Structure 1
């Protein structure tokens, strides 16, 4: 896996991701403590609102900013977004009201909604070989897990000698470091739409705004991916929103048994680190596991585990079970982390497989927006239901959502899922360039069917190739 870091450009970009996520991890811990400082036992509801605002920014703004940024040099987009995030994070230590937190988080996440899809779409352009890209995805997952492992551990050490407000300065340093590393990376300039070597046609804003979602939702494997993302969001939201409540304050909702463990501020960091450690373990094992089993079996099994573990916790809490011992809670969080990482890590492989290079940023942006729409549902459930009805009831609802996502993913993503599909083009004449394209072109017929072979009885030309939704292919062959 580490071998992919020998690529100099990827090494710099990976380093940028690591330092930015170290800062983001400090921000996660600091926000939890700030919410508890401002709202006390209602911190879970505040964090649920904060994360819901984050998702609103992601879902509502990422398609718009992605469409606008498509005509800008990607390097400038990445650096600009990092600088905006640094400025906003610098203001967070000075807030003294909950509404100020909400406003600043919206601004920060609006910049992240621009940065993240553009960054993710850059990696497959740098690493065109699938084996290298798979390793890069696992390394990327490891980098994300730093937010849940090394950053909370670092936060715990810093909290021994500093106030939690100082953690926000670490966030600022992370975003500035990321901007510097991106600036130092010699990214090749993309051919923009309308330029020689760019997209075939100069698409209008509306087309750029909706193209990624249309490709995404017309592709069965990506519809399955979205369903598995719902399972990951359901379990992940419960962990991220309610860890601080479970570890520090307990469940104070009327009629609910207290489930707090009262391990203090450092206990929150340790619990989050356990979740991150599990996800990191999954990322280390996945390259070999995916090569043997494939994406669908691994992701569906992991989604099912997330559903069962979340439901189990909810049943225990809802029927008056004793609070989990500290070690058992850490073990549960680690197991949830393993399954969570196994669902999310392969996503980039599916997106890369399902799009042409010129559509890749649009498809990554669609994944970013649609997957975070799942979090927009699950974060409020984790925070508001947990506050109003108890943590057990919140976990039950989220576990049922995860179970529904698992079954939907299995239904929407057919088993087998071949890359090369035989299909007809009733809307194209036999001499259309797509049908006559030379074999070997990734968007052209295979050698056996090149030239648009006429089907028996004079039916529409039929051929086979690696199938993706694009200008010549508007619907999946098995769906009309």
Structure 2
């Protein structure tokens, strides 16, 4: 899709000059505000849907929640490639607006649902719209922001996507108090949360409607018919581009393989805290907060020095640094040293995310962005789900292996190290991240050799 920015009034070239911050583009500012509003509401809706699943799940609330969460994951695996073609074929501005309106409508019907299958169907529709909205948004960012400011723009997008979660969690708790003040119950809290979520999507749609994006050239040529064979060719074209582009290949390999390792920290962090650190109930929360602070520092520092960096080499170094820091963190049995390693890992991980998206924005041709970003989202989700699923099994497997080989402890003189299975699994996780950095480096190195 080629939703180019509309011609700007006089003086716009100076607005896009290197001396201006990313907010010098009012179009991106509106898109970023729309993303913040949408993400804030999405997190509230996420918490509300979990509460509804628990409520209508009856004697099996855990199974109901698992089914609903599965419905939020599966569409991205099976329909992302097709969604990428849609994003590249239709008017992206209208697609973004339509997805926001669809999500608002679905959310308003959820309070009427009384069966788990209905909530699963609603979750499927929400995820289908989200699977189209994300790649479409990413595809138009380079048309609203000068190339020199793409790193800063992606830093802000990361903040909008994940920095709104604590605000949304606080708002969800506040809605419970608001419902009590009105004389309602927990049901009232959920209904207010879903109504607020729907409102945020409508506000986001209104903001996106003001973006000055031109239609795709296919729209101007009135090529409105959908040809199945052409769609298959476009799908093949997108994957072929991923295979031959060193930057795109490096980003997908680096983020995907690295996510297998980094994602294991989610299910195994709590186990590591209990078994190795013994830091109590607040320990795992402290690990997550420390990781988030590290990401924030990394994103901020990267935005400040972006113009002096070689993005490709820094991306590889950041993936490698994430693996080394995780290795250090899980090798230590001291809480302070572990938190220091997790904090440093967050700095590198935030840089990996921002630089990865920036490299795609800078190197992917405009008409292919939808398919490439859809492939990225699919790969990241698959690798994250894989890491969360197998992490526990790896921990149990290593626990058995270390018990057989070392009796779960290595002793050298007066020095001893406990070897629970969770430590072995996280060592493997860090090795995945190191392998990801090597694969990304090889992907970028091959064209350098050919050109020399």
**TM-score calculated relative to the size of structure 2:** 0.70
Pair 1:303-2:319 in alignment: yes
Aligned positions, number: 401
- Aligned residue in 2 for 1:445: none
1:409 paired residue among 426, 437, 440 = 437
Pair 1:367-2:376 in alignment: yes
- Aligned residue in 1 for 2:310: 294
CA shift for structure 1 position 109: 1.4
The 1-side partners of 2:203 and 2:51 are apart by 25
- Aligned residue in 2 for 1:144: 161
Where does 1:450-465 land on structure 2 (aligned, <5 Å)? none
CA shift for structure 1 position 15: 1.0
The 1-side partners of 2:343 and 2:47 are apart by 18
CA shift for structure 1 position 28: 4.5
The 1-side partners of 2:61 and 2:340 are apart by 24
1:133 paired residue among 142, 147, 150 = 150
Where does 1:225-240 land on structure 2 (aligned, <5 Å)? 225-234=251-260, 237-238=263-264
1:205 paired residue among 204, 208, 231 = 231
2:349 paired residue among 340, 345, 363 = 340
For the Cα contact (< 8 Å) 2:103–2:201, is it kept in 1? yes
For the Cα contact (< 8 Å) 1:211–1:362, is it kept in 2? no
Q: Which ranges in structure 1 are unaligned for 5 or more consecutive residues?
A: 423-476
Pair 1:181-2:207 in alignment: yes
Pair 1:285-2:301 in alignment: yes
Please list the CA deviations of residues 205-246 of structure 1 after superposition, one character each: whole Å capped at 9, or x if unmatched.
102223222211222232221232135523654465678x77
Where does 1:370-409 land on structure 2 (aligned, <5 Å)? 370-382=379-391, 393=421, 396-397=424-425, 400-409=428-437
Distance change in 2, residues 1:202/1:357 (3 Å): farther
Please list the CA deviations of residues 430-478 of structure 1 after superposition, one character each: whole Å capped at 9, or x if unmatched.
xxxxxxxxxxxxxxxxxxxxxxxxxxxxxxxxxxxxxxxxxxxxxxx57
The 1-side partners of 2:394 and 2:99 are apart by 34
The 2-side partners of 1:260 and 1:207 are apart by 55
CA shift for structure 1 position 277: 3.7
CA shift for structure 1 position 12: 1.1
Distance change in 2, residues 1:305/1:197 (3 Å): same
Please list the CA deviations of residues 365-390 of structure 1 after superposition, one character each: whole Å capped at 9, or x if unmatched.
33233333322322323578789999
Where 1:204 maps in the other structure, the secondary structure is helix
CA shift for structure 1 position 9: 1.6
For the Cα contact (< 8 Å) 2:138–2:373, is it kept in 1? yes
The 2-side partners of 1:387 and 1:31 are apart by 32
Does 177-186 or 407-416 show the bigger shift? Answer: 407-416
**TM-score calculated relative to the size of structure 1:** 0.67
Distance change in 2, residues 1:288/1:141 (3 Å): same
CA shift for structure 1 position 21: 1.1
- Aligned residue in 2 for 1:76: 94
CA shift for structure 1 position 399: 5.3
For the Cα contact (< 8 Å) 2:265–2:426, is it kept in 1? no
- Aligned residue in 2 for 1:62: 80
For the Cα contact (< 8 Å) 1:92–1:101, is it kept in 2? yes
The 2-side partners of 1:75 and 1:192 are apart by 14
- Aligned residue in 2 for 1:446: none
The 1-side partners of 2:422 and 2:251 are apart by 24
- Aligned residue in 2 for 1:355: 364
- Aligned residue in 2 for 1:190: 216
Please list the CA deviations of residues 32-76 of structure 1 after superposition, one character each: whole Å capped at 9, or x if unmatched.
666777899x99998777655434322321211221343321111
CA shift for structure 1 position 363: 2.4
- Aligned residue in 2 for 1:86: 104
Name the structure with the higher helix share. 2
For the Cα contact (< 8 Å) 2:395–2:424, is it kept in 1? no
Distance change in 2, residues 1:246/1:260 (3 Å): farther
Where 2:221 maps in the other structure, the secondary structure is coil
The 2-side partners of 1:143 and 1:275 are apart by 17
Where does 1:27-38 land on structure 2 (aligned, <5 Å)? 27-30=45-48
The 1-side partners of 2:345 and 2:119 are apart by 29
The 1-side partners of 2:136 and 2:62 are apart by 31
Where 1:187 maps in the other structure, the secondary structure is coil
Where 2:30 maps in the other structure, the secondary structure is helix
